[in-house]
A = this chain, B = another copy of it.
Amino acid sequence: MERIPHADRFAELIGAANVMTTPENQVPYLKEWRDLYQGVTPMVLRPGNVEEVSSVMRYAYEHDIKIVPQGGNTGLVGGQIPQETGDEIVLSLSRLNKIRSVDSAGFTITVEAGVVLETLHDEAEKAGRLFPLSLGSQGSCQIGGNISTNAGGTAVLAYGNTRDLVLGLEVVLPTGEIWDGLRTLRKDNTGYDLKQLFIGAEGTLGIITAASLKLFPKPRKLEAAFVGLPDPQAALKLFTMAKAQAGPVLTGFEIMPRVGLEFCLNHLEGARDPLNGTHAWYILLELSSGSDAFPIRDLMESILGEAFEEGLVEDAAFAQNLSQVQDFWHIRHGMSEVQKPEGGSIKHDVSVPVACIPDFLDKAIAAVKAFVPGCRPVPFGHIGDGNIHFNVSQPIDADKDAYLAKWDEMNAIVHGIVHEFGGSISAEHGIGRLKRTLLKDVKSNVELDLMRRIKKDLDPKNLLNPGRII
């Protein structure tokens, strides 16, 4: 049997059982969950602690071996899947899954990169605290991957992106050196804030092996309303009003179009329309508070009352209990999957300044309808963060493949409009392999050059997640 180069040496470093060279063992690491990428690799390495990650990287650096770090393999832009060339080795962080410490009084937790997000939620809960990052994939994504991609999700409005939740990092550099930047300090102005380099760098500058994170008080009260409105302009005004009155208590503000709700009513189990009439647009508005003393139901009524008077809101349903809150979120969370039975869907994950949302939607909806007459735009998402999942379903009865063949052209149209508004072509999913070629269209040469210099400085041999981002 032909020996796989370096496999024996890696087995010495991390144990033979953690060097996976057979196709059967490798399957879960090579398949991207939306079937956009199928990777090829000589082996998957599963080191068990930071020293083993370091020794693997040191060896790889000495022998010019390309390494692809991987967390829960839930990324949406192909960054975590080895290239089809077969010369990239996958380094899985899954075995680094220890909770290193929890500080309830200081509202911090320190965990290893491979801890699954849901486990982190549970650990925070046990300590009487909240770790707010909340994603569809939280049952399998890992915190190291969340940090490496600066994950967003539905709690950004009140708690920020993942970057805002990180206090310190432990990172193995491309050379194998370990940078111990694990700190739980709220304030530290001693030189360059190096952790920022690695957050959102999609594993191209170093491998995050552990992190110290912020915890928050657990919400004790929760209110939600499902609101019907005439247009995104009304939604923006409602947002500004709600934010001004509720401030950090405003924990959810999500937009959905009528067609999206209809898709849910047709295809999503348990979904029912919370309102009686039909409305062009809907907002899911959530308030929550760590204080029992806060009458957030009164606040909700005051905000929506004012909005009614100003003619912004056509109708609203208040959740009467936690189960109804969940029903509202069930519709919002179902918005993605219900597009599948409606045929092909061309997707965009974009953001614009919050106040530009109505103009952006007007312009982008008109542009894609002109490009593909009969197409059905389903723009939904985190309007409070300026982040819209601008997905466009095919015309009814159109040919799916012919429609999807227009993916790049439609992307170009929508991204062009995003760019006019000073927006982002990847609000929360990152660049990875999928959007790498688009960067040159939206970034200045100065910016691209700075990125290249940083990459070259930290990874001079271009061995760590090469061909991602830059």
Chain A contacts to B: CB under 8 angstroms: 103-108, 128, 149-150, 152, 156, 158, 160-161, 163-164, 173, 177-181, 183-194, 196-197, 199-201, 205, 216-218, 236-237, 239-240, 243-249, 289-295, 298-299, 302, 351-356, 382, 385-387, 422-431, 435, 439, 442-444, 446-447, 450-451, 453-454, 457-458, 469-470
A and B contact pairs by CB, cutoff 8 A, 5 listed: A187-B351, A189-B426, A192-B200, A192-B201, A295-B295
Q: Does B248 lie within 8 Å of A351, measured CB to CB?
A: no
Q: Does A446 lie within 8 Å of B178, measured CB to CB?
A: yes
Interfacial chain B residues near A457, Cβ < 8 Å: 453-454, 457
Query: Which of B185, B189, B193, B236 contacts A196 (CB under 8 A)?
Result: B193
A143 CB, nearest partner CB in chain B, Å:
17
Interfacial chain B residues near A356, Cβ < 8 Å: 106
Bound complex: CA A248 to CA B463 (Å): 43
Please judge, given known A-B contacts A186-B354, A189-B430, A426-B190, whether A164 and B161 are in contact too, CB under 8 Å: no
Query: Which of B189, B240, B246, B289 contacts A424 (CB under 8 A)?
Result: B189
Q: Does B295 lie within 8 Å of A299, measured CB to CB?
A: no
Interfacial chain B residues near A422, Cβ < 8 Å: 183-185
Copies in the complex: 2
Q: Does A185 lie within 8 Å of B291, measured CB to CB?
A: no
Q: Does B290 lie within 8 Å of A188, measured CB to CB?
A: no
Interfacial chain B residues near A150, Cβ < 8 Å: 189, 193
Sorted from nearest, which 10 A-B pairs have the closest CB atoms?
A: A196-B196, A248-B248, A106-B355, A247-B290, A188-B424, A106-B354, A187-B427, A186-B385, A105-B355, A184-B353
Please judge, given known A-B contacts A427-B188, A427-B189, whether A106 and B217 are in contact too, CB under 8 Å: no
Interfacial chain B residues near A387, Cβ < 8 Å: 186-187
Q: Does A191 lie within 8 Å of B470, measured CB to CB?
A: yes
Bound complex: CA A190 to CA B423 (Å): 11
Please judge, given known A-B contacts A186-B156, A291-B299, whether A236 and B105 are in contact too, CB under 8 Å: yes
Query: Which of B192, B196, B294, B429 contacts A451 (CB under 8 A)?
Result: B192
Q: Does B447 lie within 8 Å of A179, measured CB to CB?
A: yes
Please judge, given known A-B contacts A217-B247, A243-B107, A354-B106, whether A194 and B293 are in contact too, CB under 8 Å: no
Bound complex: CA A244 to CA B351 (Å): 33
Q: Does B295 lie within 8 Å of A352, measured CB to CB?
A: no
Question: Closest residue to A295 on the B side, CB-wise?
Answer: B293
Question: Closest residue to A293 on the B side, CB-wise?
Answer: B299
Please judge, given known A-B contacts A107-B354, A188-B351, A427-B189, whether A245 and B291 are in contact too, CB under 8 Å: yes
Query: Which of B216, B355, B443 contacts A103 (CB under 8 A)?
Result: B355
Q: Does B246 lie within 8 Å of A290, measured CB to CB?
A: yes
Bound complex: CA A430 to CA B180 (Å): 20
Q: Does B186 lie within 8 Å of A431, measured CB to CB?
A: no
Interfacial chain B residues near A173, Cβ < 8 Å: 446, 450
Interfacial chain B residues near A354, Cβ < 8 Å: 103, 105-108, 186
Q: Does B446 lie within 8 Å of A190, measured CB to CB?
A: no
A70 CB, nearest partner CB in chain B, Å:
18
Please judge, given known A-B contacts A103-B353, A299-B293, whether A189 and B184 are in contact too, CB under 8 Å: no
Please judge, given known A-B contacts A156-B186, A191-B469, whether A177 and B446 are in contact too, CB under 8 Å: yes
Please judge, given known A-B contacts A105-B240, A299-B291, A353-B184, whether A190 and B247 are in contact too, CB under 8 Å: no
Bound complex: CA A183 to CA B444 (Å): 13
Please judge, given known A-B contacts A180-B444, A245-B290, whether A429 and B189 are in contact too, CB under 8 Å: yes
**Given A188-B424, A189-B430, A453-B457, 19 more pairs with CB closer than 8 A:** A105-B236, A105-B354, A106-B240, A106-B354, A107-B240, A179-B447, A180-B444, A181-B447, A185-B351, A185-B386, A185-B424, A187-B387, A190-B424, A191-B469, A191-B470, A192-B454, A196-B197, A293-B302, A295-B295
Interfacial chain B residues near A108, Cβ < 8 Å: 353-354
Please judge, given known A-B contacts A185-B353, A187-B156, A187-B387, whether A192 and B469 are in contact too, CB under 8 Å: yes
